[in-house]
Structure 1
Amino acid sequence: MKHIFICIAVLLSSDGIIAKVTSLSDSNIYRSAQFVHDWNAKMTDIIMEDGFSPAVIAKHYAYANIAAYTAAQPGFAQMYRPLTGQINLYTNPPFPDTSLMYDWRLCAIAAYRTIVNKVLYRSQYSDSMYKAQVEAIEEEYEEVKNGDDIVSRSIKHGESVAKYTIAWFKDDGHIKNQGRPRYNFPRGKGYWMPTPPEFADPLDPWFKTMRPLVLDSARQFKPLPPVTYDETPNSPFYDQVMQVYITSKNIDAEQKEIAAFWDCNPIKAWHQGHFVFNTRQISPGGHWMSLAKVGCDYKQVNMMEAIEAYTLVGISLFDAFISCWAEKYSSHSIRPVTYINKFIDSTWEPYLQTPPFPEHTSGHSTISAASAEILTRLFGEFSYQDSTEVRFGLPVRSFTNYHAAAWEASVSRIYGGIHFRRGCDEGNRLGKEIGGYIWDKLNLRKPRE
């Protein structure tokens, strides 16, 4: 049985008293980031079952980690600054009682659980994990004076921060968007229209109105416009269509593997005659949250460093989706399959299933580059193996750095037949700019390394 012996100190900073913290003889208790990794992995598992859209999934990752960061940060105030005032309208979350003692692991765990219970449908899938985590920590306090009080107080603090976060994000625009009427997308030459095989309505057309976390507005970063629509052979638009078409006709085994590896379609529809069924995959954001863990493992980070990594990636995913969706539902650009089926080859099918929203810019390109920029600035450049898609029957892929992975994710959309080159290139460029802006704007470390 592990026993904890405690001495107490009150930290001071230029801002005054920060928080009462514990100096433990067993200093390893915050060195492990396993609880943090477990919660982000569990969210990914539940999200795949729930079937949210890619953009909404990013929102869930961001909010859960913002709450966990805020709940645990006072215990690491010598190294980390609060998010208060750094995220739009996140101004006054609960602060722990500076005269009392907390276990910051429990604060974070309770925050994760409370947010998960609020935003995910099958949140009960996390109940057993939560119970096991709390019981393991409770055991450490069995012979500590007032140990039960420390445990209950820590859980209460995490829950109170999460409840504040829930009240804060009630006004983010999501509830209002859920109540909007059916989206009336523009019709005409060059505009997006529903695509096979589902011919579904446009997905998340109002996500562009969501409140950003760090960006000033959804249109703060603007891409070059899509290539001007033109049905004339040898025109620039026709040429980019032919690039997709010819690539698909000559796609090799490596390109197929790349396309499948980065497909990340949360709900993939399969049609066999009149029978239709869906399969679930990890989302684009879920894939990059998995790559955040790769960096954490490489650097052997502690608990707070892991929360920092997931928080930064979650925020970058969310704001990058808002920015990208603002462009998608401004230009309403046509998808390759629509043009090719009408003017080039009526029987052609892309290798990947076309998602139900406009083409320009590529969402995966945007969020991948944003995440890669954050992770590169946080962990530096290093080679790694990505096993995220092994659970879906795909092989491990190797990358020299995060931006190489983001570039491959971008070009995969051309191999898959679902995006044009400019949409991918501009998404990649803007994503990197967004990630850099978020990194520069959020000042979490004291001082930043």
Structure 2
Amino acid sequence: MKKMKFTWILFVSATFLILQSCATEEFESEVLEKDLEIEDTDDKRPEVSRSNSNLIIEWSDMLLELDRQATGMRPNATARALAYIHLATYETVVVNMNGYTSNSARLDGLTINRAPRNIDPLIALNACYARVLDHFIYNVPENSSRAIRGLEVRKERELSSRLSRRLVQDSKRWGQYIASTIIDYSKTDIAAEEQILAPQPTSYEPPVGAGFWTYSAAQERALFPYWSEVRTFVISPEETTSVPPVDQYSAAPESGYYQQMLEVYDVSTKAAAENNDDLWIAEFWSDDVEGLMMSPPGRQISIASQIIDEYNLDLQESLVLLLKLGFSLNDAAVSTWDDKYKYMVMRPNVYIQEYINADYQTNLFKFIYWPNPSFPGYPSGHSSFASAAAGLFIDLVGDATDFTDNSHKGTTEFLGTPRQFASFSEMAEENAFSRIPLGVHIRMDCTEGLRLGYEISNAVNALNLSDNNSL
């Protein structure tokens, strides 16, 4: 009898606890639903504020550290990754941005569901950044995913204060959904997906001809020789102007070609001997060395992040700038590599060693055991990336500036002391022609790369993000 009474008491107690728990959960659910219903009755979505660009800067810092450590991506796969990363971040928040629309109707094959009304843009953006960085920046140290997750958790904790659990979870799911959608969209570009797995394909053999570029034993194979087939976002290689080299290959000392090679030899050897400003410029803009420096396209993200901070750009302005910058860098890589493997212009050190000084080495050689990047010289990729970015900066804030590039501030492994510029066009020009004292490009490579990059940035500047028929 006592046992039955005790069992009954336990049953009653357990039933009470279950009912109490259910009541509590129902109450919490009602509170969350009430909060959401209140937000749903407001036709105006929460707008982004000026202070919120700090989240972008923090994630950009993470991106640049991953970019520095990544192997086998630069520069082409990196430029492509930056386009998709910033397409995803833009699409995550565009529903909260005044006057801007999704790219889903601009980009063939991209479909995005309608966003729920109750989304906190910063929580969603934070979740999106974590997902796309973990996917698109590959060949990084094993602890990179943990670092990404650590930043995501820390920022979520900061941003979710005083927000309902339901709102936080819905916002995270939206950011993750957009990230997954953009990742899936990127995989439909089969040409790129195949090439990032085999950036130096054995199927490619460079054509043979007088003055033609070819790879050395140290370089193994040509890098990204089929990159012209990769998806573009605004302007394709067929739509850009392809300008043949102004000087054709010649071994004659009086020829323009020889004189361009001689300039590289004179400037680069003097820079090394005197440790002068030209060497500072060469190393400051190099960005060739994996594990030590960020990539050339990544460098433009570093500059953009500094512009966001210096010019106090709000979240909306920042997302638009980075979207356009990603598009511009991607399209610059595709058109530049199309021309590189069309014109097959050789690198200076090969010519100089044959006709000027057999013992010549570039100023890059002390950092990398092979003397040149593993692809033809004309046009210069650094130069096209420089102007593909500078054209956007100029369109946004004007050319005149008092800008100091702190991308390598504090470094001791190379000459990375910050440099100051009075205009963004001056900065782009210095970046472009820094390849001469480094010893890896002749002048016409840099001139054409600079021209091509501005052609691409002009097309991107004309992109009307408020009109789905803008392309």
Q: TM tier, shorter chain?
A: 0.7 to 0.9
- Alpha carbons 2:59, 2:129 under 8 Å: kept: yes
Query: Secondary structure in 2 aligned to 1:40?
Result: helix
Superimposed CA distance per residue, residues 168-191 of structure 1 (whole angstroms, 9 cap, x where no aligned partner): 110222223335544211223211
The answer as to 2:136 corresponding to 1:119 is yes
Structure 1 pair 266/93, CA: closer, same or farther in 2 (3 Å)? farther
Question: 1:8: how far off?
Answer: 5.7
The answer as to 2:375 corresponding to 1:357 is yes
Question: 1:9: how far off?
Answer: 6.0
The answer as to 2:280 corresponding to 1:257 is yes
Aligned length: 411
Partners of 1:9 and 1:408 lie apart in 2 by: 54
Structure 1 pair 60/266, CA: closer, same or farther in 2 (3 Å)? farther
The answer as to 2:108 corresponding to 1:92 is no
Partners of 2:332 and 2:267 lie apart in 1 by: 28
Question: 1:50: how far off?
Answer: 2.0
The answer as to 2:388 corresponding to 1:370 is yes
Candidates 271, 286, 293, aligned match of 1:281: 293
Candidates 165, 188, 206, aligned match of 2:209: 188
What letter matches 1:355 in structure 2? P
Question: 1:432: how far off?
Answer: 0.7
- Alpha carbons 2:285, 2:431 under 8 Å: kept: yes
Query: Secondary structure in 2 aligned to 1:156?
Result: helix
- Alpha carbons 2:127, 2:175 under 8 Å: kept: yes
Partners of 1:112 and 1:399 lie apart in 2 by: 31
- Alpha carbons 2:74, 2:296 under 8 Å: kept: no
Candidates 174, 181, 187, aligned match of 2:192: 174
Larger Rg: 2
- Alpha carbons 2:110, 2:185 under 8 Å: kept: no
- Alpha carbons 2:100, 2:466 under 8 Å: kept: yes
Which structure has the highest helix share of the two? 2
Question: 1:299: how far off?
Answer: 2.2
What letter matches 1:375 in structure 2? F
Structure 1 pair 107/150, CA: closer, same or farther in 2 (3 Å)? same
Query: Secondary structure in 2 aligned to 1:400?
Result: strand
What letter matches 1:132 in structure 2? R
Structure 1 pair 9/232, CA: closer, same or farther in 2 (3 Å)? farther
- Alpha carbons 1:7, 1:22 under 8 Å: kept: no
Partners of 2:342 and 2:292 lie apart in 1 by: 29
What letter matches 1:68 in structure 2? T
Partners of 1:186 and 1:439 lie apart in 2 by: 37
Candidates 252, 256, 267, aligned match of 1:232: 252
Candidates 45, 66, 77, aligned match of 1:21: 45
Query: Secondary structure in 2 aligned to 1:301?
Result: coil
- Alpha carbons 1:264, 1:283 under 8 Å: kept: yes
Partners of 1:311 and 1:216 lie apart in 2 by: 17
Structure 1 pair 378/249, CA: closer, same or farther in 2 (3 Å)? same
- Alpha carbons 2:362, 2:438 under 8 Å: kept: yes
Partners of 1:302 and 1:265 lie apart in 2 by: 32
- Alpha carbons 2:297, 2:385 under 8 Å: kept: yes
Bigger mean CA deviation after superposition, 171-180 or 394-403: 171-180
Structure 1 pair 93/334, CA: closer, same or farther in 2 (3 Å)? same
The answer as to 2:329 corresponding to 1:317 is yes
- Within a 5 Å distance, the mapping from 1:47-126 to structure 2 comes to 47-51=67-71, 52-76=73-97, 78-86=98-106, 88-89=107-108, 91-97=110-116, 100-121=117-138, 122-126=144-148
Partners of 2:454 and 2:237 lie apart in 1 by: 17
Which structure has the highest strand share of the two? 1
What letter matches 1:291 in structure 2? I
Question: 1:291: how far off?
Answer: 0.9
The answer as to 2:183 corresponding to 1:160 is no
1:293 corresponding residue in structure 2: 305
Partners of 1:236 and 1:344 lie apart in 2 by: 15
Bigger mean CA deviation after superposition, 350-359 or 253-262: 350-359
CA RMSD of aligned residues (A): 2.4
Superimposed CA distance per residue, residues 386-406 of structure 1 (whole angstroms, 9 cap, x where no aligned partner): 110124332110001211110
Question: 1:411: how far off?
Answer: 1.1
- Within a 5 Å distance, the mapping from 1:205-216 to structure 2 comes to 205-216=225-236
What letter matches 1:421 in structure 2? R
What letter matches 2:129 in structure 1? Y
- Alpha carbons 1:366, 1:427 under 8 Å: kept: yes
The answer as to 2:426 corresponding to 1:407 is no
2:348 corresponding residue in structure 1: 336
- The unaligned stretches of length 5 or more in structure 2 are 1-34, 139-143, 366-371
Structure 1 pair 445/306, CA: closer, same or farther in 2 (3 Å)? farther
Candidates 239, 256, 263, aligned match of 1:243: 263
What letter matches 1:395 in structure 2? T
Question: 1:317: how far off?
Answer: 0.8
Question: 1:219: how far off?
Answer: 5.6
Query: Secondary structure in 2 aligned to 1:32?
Result: helix
- The unaligned stretches of length 5 or more in structure 1 are 12-19, 142-146, 268-278
Query: Secondary structure in 2 aligned to 1:383?
Result: strand
Partners of 2:222 and 2:239 lie apart in 1 by: 20
Question: 1:221: how far off?
Answer: 2.9
Superimposed CA distance per residue, residues 407-441 of structure 1 (whole angstroms, 9 cap, x where no aligned partner): 00011011111111111001101111110111102
Structure 1 pair 398/42, CA: closer, same or farther in 2 (3 Å)? same
Query: Secondary structure in 2 aligned to 1:69?
Result: helix
What letter matches 1:109 in structure 2? N
Bigger mean CA deviation after superposition, 433-442 or 364-373: 433-442
Structure 1 pair 75/433, CA: closer, same or farther in 2 (3 Å)? same
What letter matches 2:84 in structure 1? Y
Partners of 1:445 and 1:397 lie apart in 2 by: 39
What letter matches 2:46 in structure 1? T
Superimposed CA distance per residue, residues 187-239 of structure 1 (whole angstroms, 9 cap, x where no aligned partner): 2321112259x334221112121011111445633133352111122112111
What letter matches 1:427 in structure 2? G
Partners of 1:22 and 1:247 lie apart in 2 by: 56
TM-score by length of 2: 0.82
TM-score by length of 1: 0.86
- Alpha carbons 1:49, 1:280 under 8 Å: kept: yes
